[in-house]
A = this chain, B = another copy of it.
Amino acid sequence: MENPFVRKMERHVRLAPEDRAVLDGLGRQHVRHVAARQDIEGQQSDPSHTHLILDGWACRYKQFPDGRRAIVALLLPGDLCDPFVFRRAHMDHAIGALTSVTVARIAPDQLGDAIRGRPAVEECLWREMLATTALHREWIASVGRRSAIERLAHLFCELHLRLARVGLADGMTLPMPVTQPDLADALGQTSVHINRTLKELRISGLVALRSRRLTIRDLDGLMERGLFDPAYLQLS
């Protein structure tokens, strides 16, 4: 069974069997479990390795001195925590597990070795980086100019696409293992208001959320409500 990373990368470019094997190998070594609400990487650290999420959800977040938390990105299975490690950058944020998570530790030169002589691998890693920064931009636009209900609708559309890409969406229903306070910190709101907004989406027949699974009842309606345009994810 291939890991979700390979499945995602194949969406970017056509991979030869050896390319696939190399990428798959990255996710098979140094597998580690992290409990929910534990940090995978602290806010002040100088990480020497990167992590590949194999299972569970994590997030990139910034914690303010007074306790406020801003989640600046959600990390799903198949996502690479920090493709830049080999530049030995200092962390300006933390990476935390939202659910219990399994990750593979990857040393910087393993990534370098994987790329060397394999243009397709390099290409798909680049494309992945492009998609990630496009996602960042979309989040800034979302928090800056979308209303509460638009934001939530937009996020659900985004997650649907991202999870489908790694084979984790079952048609129109997807896992949604995070709490409402988590969603609030990701969308720049309070959990109470997330709850209100969720109710509104439910009443208008766009989604259903039960026992940590989200079902999209009306994808077109949801996309319209969230001003969602799938183009930005660069799925060539």
**Contact digits for A95-133, partner B, Cβ 8 Å, 1 yes 0 no:** 000000000000000000000000000000011001001
B-contacting residues, A138-156, CB 8 Å: 138-141, 143-145
Establish whether residues B136 and A137, one from each chain, have CB atoms under 8 Å apart when the complex forms. Answer: yes
CB of A163 within 8 A of chain B?
Answer: no
CB of A68 within 8 A of chain B?
Answer: yes
* Interface residue stretch chosen among A83-91, A169-177, A191-199, A203-211: A83-91
Question: Which residue on chain B has the smallest CB distance to residue A127?
Answer: B87
Which residues of chain B come closer than 8 Å to A89, judged between CB atoms? 130, 234
In the assembled complex, the Cα of A70 lies from the Cα of B53 at a distance in Å of 31
Q: Which of B72, B73, B92, B126 contacts A231 (CB 8 A)?
A: B92
Determine the interface band of chain A, counting residues with CB < 8 A from chain B: 35 or more
Nearest-CB distance from A59 to chain B (Å)? 12
Given contacts A62-B137, A140-B136, whether A145 and B90 have CB atoms under 8 Å apart is no
Establish whether residues B143 and A90, one from each chain, have CB atoms under 8 Å apart when the complex forms. Answer: no
Contacts from A to B (Cβ < 8 Å): 60, 62, 64-65, 68-73, 84, 87, 89-90, 92-93, 126-127, 130, 133-134, 136-141, 143-145, 185-188, 227, 229, 231-232, 234
